Amino acid sequence: MKEGLRFLPMDPTHTTLLECRQAIAGRQISAVEATQAYLQRIARIDPKFSCFVETYPQRAMEQAAQVDAGKVRGPLAGVPLAIKDVLCTDYGRTTCGSHMLENFRAPYTATAVRKLEEAGAVILGKTNMDEFAMGSSTENSAHFITRNPWDPSRVPGGSSGGSAAAMGADLCAGALGTDTGGSIRQPAAYCGVVGLKPTYGRISRWGLVAFASSLDQIGPFTRTVTDAALLLGVMAGHDPLDSTSANAPVPDYLAGLAQPGNGQPLRIGLAKQYLSDQNDPQVNQAVAEAMEVFRKLGATAVEVDMPHTEYGIPTYYLVATAEASSNLARYDGVHYGHRTNEAEDLVDLYCRSRAEGFGPEVKRRIMLGTYALSSGYYDAYYLRALKVRRLIKGDFDRAFAQCDVLLCPTTTGPAFKIGDKIDDPLAMYMNDVYTVNVNLAGLPAVSLPGGFAQVGQTRLPVGIQLIGPAFGEETLLRIAHLFQQHTLFHQARPAAVV
Amino acid sequence: MSSHITEAEVRHVAQLSRLRLTSEEIHHYAAQLSNILDYVSRLNELNVEGVEPMAHALDMSNVLRPDEPAAGMSVERVLDNAPEKSPPFFRVIKVLGEGSGA
């Protein structure tokens, strides 16, 4: 697990986010130097993996100079970050990985990004993604594919594959993704980094280009749980611009990591439905070993029953596509985005602009969602899915009456090969089998580096997932942090990028 | 419910979706959507009688803010990304005429 592991304390690209912040605050390194180090590393390494859609070197250096001049302070002063290209910024382009928004320049900045910048963060650039966040491999990007830093012949996962790969390749100190059905956690697992999907409503979605509004949530990629707690704390909170952002107090997540808990032994829930023998055995092995780590720390394993787990994928793909078909109706070739050159009349203009602007997976999902909502099928598909969604949430409610967190795999196996699933939508959708239910129920969950899988000559990271009750990030992160304090998986780096 | 979706149905859904598809795409999507619908039809195995539909994860509704006037985005800014414009308007091709009501 120490393959490629090196300690270069003065190189900010090989530290954690917290260490980078401390080095800048302690003047061991300037913010300009830290930013320059990352920009140089991106120029050298990103051509191999194609994580970034665009970078903002000039703007980033100016932001860093402001920090060094003492004009910007805050908990992230001078820390270089990458953000998924689905978050609006009033600089650069916001393309969502789509031809539709190829030249779109957002008129405002997403609240989450604004908060990071106000806390002193430096934005290095925007990262690649599956078009409109629809996909599990980043192969659906209209720009180019992104490669996995552990094996460039494999996908980084998706839809936030650019951010996950950038994190995995040490091209940023932290990154933002979005998670509608697993789009932070699955790529985090495939790229060997931490990926946190907060509770629905914990972070404002203002300025996040909508895919499925009842499921979408922004969250961080980091090397450590500590870093995730820091970024979550900066971004969380109510926003008058997003009526679904929760008006609930934001705990000090960073301080919470050191809290002793409630004095009772931790109860870790394990559900047999998540430990299927269809999984790669090395994934189930990683979960079993993680449980062993917790057991040695005094935790008890609680067996819980999640009988509706297998209905998550069909429910998710009806709910998410129905919402997407409605959300993506806004791309009409009139207000912004791609417009066709050869329309005969207004309806033809809509139909051609959309056909030219959207890629195949986006069209497929719009069609499926439109069908599920259409007259005669609404009750059979969409309404039924909403009822099953309630049953799925019930599984979690019963489980959390018995345990503090659930421990399960993030994915059924390690990263797959580029091209393997691109022509088989159902096989691609099955990637999300252990992540979508968390979105349907609106819960927080984190994927942690939890081991490795040997696939032929290649060693690939494996993720373990911890799921907590709604707004239970404090406990969730504390338990995740406990795991990282007693394991070294998160310190391993892919040999190719050191 | 039968999950098989015909090419005629795909054409209808494409029209509802405002997507102009080639006949090749129609053919392709008919097969793929049929597969997906076959798969999702397993939801019929469950008894959902009396289960309240869940549209949203948070227990909130009708979130209102005080009705106070505030500055909005300028017209120039709104029109910045328009493919065609004639300020202060978006520009479109003819709306009335044959086929426009489809």
- The tens digit of pLDDT for each residue in A75-116 reads 999 999 999 999 999 999 999 999 999 999 999 999 999 999
Q: Who contacts A222 (Cβ-Cβ below 8 Å, separation ≥6)? A: A16, A17, A167, A174, A175, A193, A194, A196, A228, A231
Q: Which domain holds residue B11?
A: 1-45
Question: Are A200 and B58 inside 8 Å of each other by CB?
Answer: yes
pLDDT the model gives residue A263:
79
Whether A155 and A49 have beta carbons less than 8 Å apart is answered as no
Convert the pLDDT of each residue in A396-413 to its tens digit: 999 999 999 999 999 999
Q: Please give the average per-residue pLDDT across B7-16, as a whole number.
A: 96
Could you report the per-residue pLDDT of A360-384, keeping only the tens digit for each? 999 999 999 999 999 999 999 999 9
Boundary of a domain, candidates A353, A370, A386: A386
pLDDT band at A257 (very low <50, low <70, confident <90, very high): very high
Q: What's the pLDDT band for A1 if we cut at 50, 70, 90?
A: very low
Provide the CATH number for the domain around residue A40. Answer: 3.90.1300.10
Size of interface A-B (CB pairs under 8 A): 174
| Residue to substitute from A331, A384, A397, A438, interface B, most B β-carbons within 10 A | A384
In angstroms, rounded to a whole number, what is the distance separating the alpha carbons of residues B33 and A369? 11
Whole-angstrom distance, CA of residue A186 vs CA of residue A163: 12
- Is A224 in contact with A188 (CB distance < 8 Å)? no
Do residues A380 and A481 share a domain?
Answer: no
- The verdict on residue B7 lying in a domain is yes
Instruction: From A386, A413, A448, give the residue that closes a domain.
Output: A386
* Phi, psi angles (nearest 5°) of residue A489: -55, -35
A257 and A319 part of one domain: no
Q: Is A398 contained in some domain?
A: no
Residue of chain B with shortest Cα separation from A444: B57
Does the residue B15 lie in any domain? yes
Counted residue by residue, chain B has a size of: 102
Q: Is residue A425 part of a domain?
A: no
List the catalytic residues of A: 84, 159, 183
Domain-located, residue B35: yes
**Residue A181 to residue A440: CA distance in whole angstroms:** 8
Last residue of a domain, one of A345, A365, A386: A386
Find out whether A76 and A121 touch, Cβ atoms under 8 Å.
Answer: yes
Pair of tokens at residue A214: 């009842």
Interface of A with B in 407-446 (CB under 8 A): 425-426, 429, 440-443
CATH number for the domain harbouring residue B35: 1.10.20
For the stretch A115-158, pLDDT in tens is: 999 999 999 999 999 999 999 999 999 999 999 999 999 999 99
Q: What ipTM was predicted for this assembly?
A: 0.92
Return all residues near A148 (Cβ < 8 A) that are at least 6 apart: A49, A154, A155, A156, A157, A165, A168, A190, A191, A415, A460
The whole-number average pLDDT for the span A269-279 is 95
Residue A373 lies in a domain: yes
Cβ contact A415:A154 at 8 Å: yes
Give yes or no for A248 touching B (CB within 8 A). no
Beta-bridge partner residues of B28: none
Domain count, chain A: 2
A39-84, pLDDT tens digit by residue?
999 999 999 999 999 999 999 999 999 999 999 999 999 999 999 9
Nearest to A351 among B20, B82, B92 (CB): B20
Total of domains in chain B: 1
What is the domain range of residue A339? 310-386
> Among candidates A15, A49, A12, A45, which has minimal Cα distance to A31?
A12
Chain-chain contact of A367 with B29 (C-beta, under 8 angstroms) = yes
Residues A248 and A118 in one domain: yes
Task: Of A4-13, A286-295, A424-433, B5-14, give the lowest mean pLDDT range.
Answer: A4-13
Under DSSP, the state recorded for B52 is P
Same domain for A164 and A254, yes or no, is yes
Same domain, yes or no: A20 and A167: yes
Please indicate, yes or no, if residue A43 is contained in any of the structural domains: yes
Q: How far is CA A466 from CA A151, A454, B69, in A?
A: 26, 23, 44
Distance, CA of A193 to CA of A33 (rounded, Å): 24
Chain A hits for B16, Cβ within 8 Å: 370, 374
| A241 in B contact zone (CB under 8 Å) | no
Judging contacts by C-beta atoms under 8 Å, the chain A residues touching residue B58 are 200-201, 244, 246, 442
Q: Indicate whether A124 belongs to any domain.
A: yes
Helices B23-40, A360-373: axis angle to 10 degrees equals 60
Contact residues, A window 389-408, toward B, CB-based 8 Å cutoff: 389-391, 393
The answer on pLDDT for B99 being more than 60 is no
> Which residue among A315, A336, A440 sits closest to B81, beta carbon to beta carbon?
A336
Q: Is residue B37 part of a domain?
A: yes
Q: Does A276 touch chain B (CB under 8 A)?
A: no
Q: Is the pLDDT of residue B85 over 80?
A: yes
Residue window 94-133, chain A: list those with CB within 8 Å of chain B. 103-105, 107-108
> Do A113 and A243 lie in a common domain?
yes
Report if residue B22 sits inside a domain: yes
Mean pLDDT, chain A, as a whole number?
95
Give contacts of B 51-90 with A, CB under 8 A.
51-58, 60, 63, 65, 73, 77-78, 80-84, 90
pLDDT score recorded for residue B1:
44
Question: Looking at chain A, how many residues does it have?
Answer: 498
User: Residue A197 phi/psi, 5° resolution?
Assistant: -105, 110
